[in-house]
Structure 1
């Protein structure tokens, strides 16, 4: 699930499948991604009193420099340069291969000398698409590798530039700030899904359309894909709270608990939206059934009204011999035609009055409560005795 993809002739967007090593390949083999974004490298060295952006890679990675270092890589096109950088940082070949295998499940792994965290970075609005973000926390440095230059770390960069409290204290706190920014970026996405769900519910209640079912299924599919990200991501953040994770101090672990709480909150919001989306299908079917019932009720009322009228018309159309006084003498009556029409109209009015009395037409739903000021039946205007219900002794 990446931010780039192809659109089919039918307008359906397909997510680009991440490249994988062929079956039986040796572990740690790197498979470059076709069509990957150009590589952009930024080095930021910071201390509580200083911030500098290094241009030269050798100068930025020189040992013995004070403070921490943030290495930010966007784009995986120049895989040779990224491999050389990872080799200088002493990363394990399996860890380097995971950077280029962008279909990784969110996870936290502890290697010798650093912590490897894989997270999924969402885009701001629906439909849901994400990209892989790799965060490596080592001794005095933080390495972030993402697929595209678009990220959610601008607030963290602004805090680094402004020199706010704690942001320049250590590489561990910077790693927490980056993870916290990524977790918080899911809130606008979930809020957009909540608004979309409410809009669908209103449209279904007002006038359900034929295309609404497909839209509901797309919503459920995207929420399911989002769940496949948030569930393991919650576990990955929770794994950083273990005391055996290096470079995560007790002070940073306190802030990471807040990230874990946000992850649980996101899962709760997602589960609520999934249940509502599941109920939209039943609501749509119920709305369609109610509309069909209303249509059938109207047609039934019309047909029922015409039944006695049809009987009267058929009765007077039998053309009996009028020589007998018992064979419909009103056929020769001067006002017989108007009498038949009046009888038909009277039967229709009687049927309408009967339907209205039973609440089948006209919106009358049974007995209504008495209007204020109207007289009540005898005995109802008496107040109950003090200290008990009416009739209690």
Structure 2
């Protein structure tokens, strides 16, 4: 192993760039391939103000019976499979362009309206405590007349449980209103989860700030870079949602009632606030980076100050030793009995006097 590489492993530990590759792997010029789920699970919530029917469907063919029953229906599909998505889309009149968006990956959050169908795509965010990483799951929400269809990638987790609990209560607003309010409730849950993720990141930033102030070693610099990457993921997912929600507010479709628009405006206010928090976190990370550099410079200055003081204290002894070490035949006091002791005393007294002077001038503060 080369000496410079050997020293580098001790002074500057290797930094894992795998997360960087994950963040910037999306290429819009290349159609990404989705790995199909092993299975799809279909859940239906068919309800009105008085009753609700909740069950898991055996296959996609059972979905069509809920389309024209004059009740509000929420179909939740966990696990994306091309055949199932195309079959459900055919039954509910979802355009082929929207089917392509549902099957795609790495899409930017957006909202579309095609042939009487409102469609929005965005990511649900989760925070992985073990890896200190922001994880994302793409979800598609389709709003039609008296129905909402959601397509999710992961069948083991989502943020919609509060909505499910409210659907069980006949007094809840969701049960009293139409499908557009259900769509709002789902979007609101996704946006609220953004604040949970930001709170976790905020705790990590606060811990990192304390670590930099107390220690400020090379591992702190790696943590700064890691958190900045997670903020990139957060901003990439949160920022476009503002335009998405604004699309619902400004839409002139008959699918959204005027009374429901004010609820979408509330979600818009939340996502604007979330964007402000993301910007604040980015500024905090910039400040932490500057704090780390200042900490390193301060430590270097302390080291240089100690070395400078030691050099100054040794300078008199070096000069005296150099004078009496010259090869002249006649050197005053060199052949006196007390000459050696006087020289040693001078070498000790002069640095002590210098220390007193440095102390009075505040060089050790």
Q: TM-score, normalised by structure 1?
A: 0.80
RMSD: 2.5
Q: Deviations over 1:160-186 (max 9, x none)?
A: 123342111211111111000000011
Give runs of aligned pairs for residues 231-270 of structure 1, distance below 5 A.
Answer: 231-270=239-278
2:319 to 297, 311, 326: 311
CA positional deviation for 1:154: 0.8
Structure 2: 5+ residue runs without aligned partners?
A: 1-15
Partners in 2 of 1:203 and 1:124 — Cα distance? Answer: 21
CA contact (8 A) 2:143 2:149 kept: yes
Contact 1:115 1:246 in 2 (8 A): no
**Count of aligned pairs:** 340
Q: Which of these two proteins has the greater Rg computed from alpha carbons? A: 1
Distance 1:32 1:200, change over 3 A: closer
Closer/same/farther in 2, CA of residues 177 and 256 from structure 1, 3 Å limit: same
Equivalences for 1:1-393 in 2 at 5 Å? 12-13=18-19, 15=22, 33-54=34-55, 55=57, 60-62=63-65, 63-77=67-81, 79-125=82-128, 126-149=132-155, 150-168=157-175, 169-318=177-326, 320-321=328-329, 327-329=331-333, 331-361=334-364, 363=365
Deviations 1:291-316 (A, max 9, x none): 11110100110010010121122233
* TM-score (normalizing by structure 2): 0.86
Q: What does residue 391 of structure 1 align with?
A: none
SS where residue 120 of structure 2 aligns? strand
**Residues 1:117 and 1:246: Cα distance change in structure 2 (over 3 Å):** farther
Name segments (4+ residues, structure 1) moved above 6 Å.
16-23
Cα deviation, residue 20, structure 1: 9.0
Q: Looking at both structures, which has the greater relative contact order when contacts are Cα pairs under 8 Å and sequence separation is at least 6?
A: 2
CA distance in 2, matches of 1:315, 1:19: 73
Deviation at 1:215, TM superposition (A): 2.7
CA contact (8 A) 2:180 2:256 kept: yes
Contact 2:127 2:133 in 1 (8 A): no
- Structure number with the higher helix fraction is 2
Which piece of structure 1 moves more, 49-58 or 127-136?
49-58
Do the aligned partners of 1:320 and 1:328 also contact (CA within 8 Å) in 2?
A: no
Are the aligned partners of 2:33 and 2:105 in contact in 1 as well (CA < 8 Å)? no
Equivalent-residue separation in structure 2 for 1:200 and 1:190 (angstroms): 15
3-state SS of 2:77 partner: strand
1:381 aligns with: none
Cα drift, residue 233 of structure 1: 1.0
